[in-house]
């Protein structure tokens, strides 16, 4: 079987969870022994080398890199044209958007990964045009794709609820903690910290946007600081999405501002060090289709506080304090617990190490390839 994959998101220099998923699932698919039974064609929107998709365990099977130069609406123009001109036996889109191809029966057998439908729950947390595009493209993918991969049962349930997708059309295949991040310092010998942070710190990692609920996180930290001496800082890591007002404007106490660090996007190597040296991890998001940073924090032995909504309880398991993300007092209380209760901290660290064992990129790749083969056999 000739398997075509939209690999464009995997090549982004600044990867969020979706881009990290795209890179990891492609790498691990190509690393499977069974991958050599198939041919592979990766569609990319920038020049790259096949080595970009190699796993340390060995070279991938022979594959074709199909470079389609970047342009506006690349998916629906360049990729769509190439897929019609030279159709693969199966097209895999690891990031939501199946090319618009009409007539629709010109589309080859296809598998699309849907990560979340957060725009349905919090429409105001997205710019209007982005929300419209997400709605149209997800509805198209849910209808036109042969099969869908949902990264959590919560996302699968949402596809049924909002798009009336038949449950047999959906397969839940979990992501895993990011293998693109280096191992913790205790395992790889690294010990230097990339940014000078003289005090212990609570850490958040993710895009800075309203859905991540950072305004309440900052309010909770400021509230604690005003109630009692706080011996730790708050560090927020992530690329700027869109946020109004700017996050820095929410810190009204000058003393708190000096202890709140907005680091922007951080490269993977430095991010690994920030995770491993954090006092605890905060993820009070209003909605997540998976919540990869939660697993990454647990992998690095960091106790976690997360929201009690969407896919987060499913992913965090019993290895996190779960809070109502709309309750600033609850967020503050959880932060205080994680900074003071060492027994609780050690319990969550141990539970976190066990929890991450439920998730594996190799397992995700095997299940994904098995789905491809089932689709091809049925076709």
Do 122 and 62 lie in one domain? The reply is: yes
* Residue with the larger pLDDT of the pair 12 and 364: 364
What are the residue ranges of helices labelled H in the chain? 17-31, 80-85, 118-121, 128-144, 153-163, 185-188, 214-227, 254-257, 268-276, 292-299, 312-316, 328-340, 342-355, 361-378
Least confident interval from 197-201, 246-250, 331-335: 246-250
Q: What is the pLDDT of residues 361-376, one digit of tens each?
A: 999 999 999 999 999 9
Do 156 and 242 lie in one domain? The reply is: no
pLDDT of 94 over the 70 cut: yes
pLDDT of 189 over the 60 cut: no
The count of other CB atoms within 10 Å of the CB of residue 175 is 25
Do 96 and 223 lie in one domain? The reply is: no
State the pLDDT confidence band at 210, using cuts at 50, 70 and 90.
confident
pTM of the model: 0.89
Do 243 and 214 lie in one domain? The reply is: yes
Do 120 and 195 lie in one domain? The reply is: no
Q: What is the pLDDT of residues 133-176, one digit of tens each?
A: 999 999 999 999 999 999 999 999 999 999 999 999 999 999 99
CB 334 within 8 Å of CB 221: no
DSSP H or E stretch at residue 306 = strand 304-307
Instruction: Provide CB contacts within 8 A for 206, sequence distance 6+.
Output: 16, 17, 212, 237, 238, 283, 285, 293
Do 235 and 197 lie in one domain? The reply is: yes
pLDDT of 193 over the 50 cut: no
Burial 88-117 (b: 16+ CB within 10 A, else e): bbbbbbbbbbbbbbeeeeebbbbbbbbbbb
Do 116 and 216 lie in one domain? The reply is: no
Do 104 and 247 lie in one domain? The reply is: no
Domain count of the fold of the chain: 2
Position 209 scores a pLDDT of 82
Residue ranges making up the domain that contains 99 = 2-176+360-378
pLDDT of 185 over the 90 cut: no
Mean predicted lDDT score pLDDT of the chain = 89
CATH number reported for the structural domain that contains residue 100 in this entry: 3.40.50.2000
Do 273 and 237 lie in one domain? The reply is: yes
State the burial class of residue 172 (Cβ atoms within 10 Å of its Cβ: 0-12, 13-18, 19+).
middle
Instruction: Report the pLDDT averaged over residues 26-54.
Output: 89
């Amino acid at each position: 079987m000739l398997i075509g994959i939209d690999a464009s998101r995997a090549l982004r220099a600044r990867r969020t969870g979706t881009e990290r998923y795209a890179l990891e699932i492609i790498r691990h698919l190509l690393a499977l022994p069974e991958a050599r039974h198939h041919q592979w064609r990766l569609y990319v929107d920038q020049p790259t080398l096949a080595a970009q998709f190699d796993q340390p365990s060995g070279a991938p099977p022979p594959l074709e890199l199909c470079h389609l130069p970047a342009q506006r609406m690349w998916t629906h123009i360049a990729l769509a044209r190439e897929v019609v001109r030279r159709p693969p036996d199966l097209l895999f889109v690891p990031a939501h958007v199946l090319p618009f191809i009409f007539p629709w029966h010109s589309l080859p057998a296809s598998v699309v990964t849907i990560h979340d439908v957060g725009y349905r729950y919090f429409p105001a947390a997205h710019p209007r045009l982005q929300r419209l595009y997400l709605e149209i493209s997800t509805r198209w993918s849910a209808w036109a794709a042969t099969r869908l991969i949902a990264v959590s049962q919560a996302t699968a349930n949402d596809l049924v609820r909002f798009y009336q997708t038949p449950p047999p059309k959906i397969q839940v295949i979990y992501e895993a903690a990011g293998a693109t991040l280096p191992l913790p310092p205790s395992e790889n010998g690294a010990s230097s910290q990339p940014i000078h942070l003289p005090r212990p710190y609570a850490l958040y990692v993710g895009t800075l946007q309203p859905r991540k609920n950072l305004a309440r996180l900052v309010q909770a930290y400021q509230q604690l600081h005003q109630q009692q001496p706080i011996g730790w800082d708050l560090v927020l890591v992530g690329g700027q999405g869109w946020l109004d007002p700017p996050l820095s404007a929410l810190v009204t106490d000058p003393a708190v501002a000096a202890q709140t660090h907005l680091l922007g996007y951080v490269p993977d190597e430095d991010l690994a060090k920030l995770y491993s040296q954090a006092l605890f991890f905060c993820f009070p998001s209003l909605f997540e289709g998976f919540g990869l940073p939660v697993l990454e924090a647990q992998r690095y032995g960091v106790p976690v506080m997360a929201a009690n909504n969407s896919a987060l309880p499913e992913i965090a398991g019993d290895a996190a304090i779960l809070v109502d993300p709309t309750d600033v007092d609850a967020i503050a209380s959880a932060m205080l617990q994680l900074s003071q209760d060492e027994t609780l901290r050690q319990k969550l660290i141990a539970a976190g190490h066990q929890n991450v064992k439920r998730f594996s990129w190799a397992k995700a790749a095997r299940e994904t390839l098995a789905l491809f083969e089932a689709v091809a056999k049925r076709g």
